[in-house]
């Protein structure tokens, strides 16, 4: 019975426990900012392709533009919700 008590481990993630934890947090925030800027560029380019394609009756360009707009919007949604998604998965895993 004592071996079962010794075999139990705990996990309490804390970025401040290691050197550079704050730097990694700042780096993550900066990367998320750049990723959102790239999503904005992709959305504007996709909307432009969609508009040009529909005005010139180019079905392929219209579909590529629509796909770019949807993918950019989903990517921005995932970037914005990344912390909540990770925290939800971690708390669900702790409940197992």
Give the model confidence (pLDDT) of 33-53 as tens digits.
999 999 999 999 999 999 999
**Contact of 27 with 37, CB cutoff 8 Å:** no
User: How many domains does the chain fold into?
Assistant: 1
Domain residue limits at 46? 40-89
Q: Look at residue 9 and tell me if it is in a domain.
A: no
**Cα–Cα distance measured from residue 20 to residue 77, given in angstroms and rounded to the nearest whole number:** 28
Please list the alpha-helical segments (H only) found in 1-96: 2-7, 21-55, 59-80, 82-94
pLDDT at 2: 56
Residue 25 falls inside a structural domain: no
Assigned domain for 67 exists: yes
Residue 23 lies in a domain: no
Q: Which residue has the higher pLDDT, 13 or 35?
A: 35
**Angle of CA points 19, 22, 27, to nearest 5°:** 115
């Amino acid at each position: 019975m004592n071996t079962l008590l010794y075999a139990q481990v705990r996990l309490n993630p804390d970025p401040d426990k290691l050197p550079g934890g704050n730097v990694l947090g700042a780096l993550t925030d900066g990367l998320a900012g750049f990723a959102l800027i790239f999503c904005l560029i992709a959305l504007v380019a996709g909307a432009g392709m969609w508009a040009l394609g529909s005005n010139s009756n180019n079905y392929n360009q219209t579909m590529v533009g629509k796909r770019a707009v949807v993918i950019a919007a989903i990517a921005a949604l995932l970037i914005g919700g990344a912390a909540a998604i990770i925290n939800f998965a971690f708390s669900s895993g702790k409940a197992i």
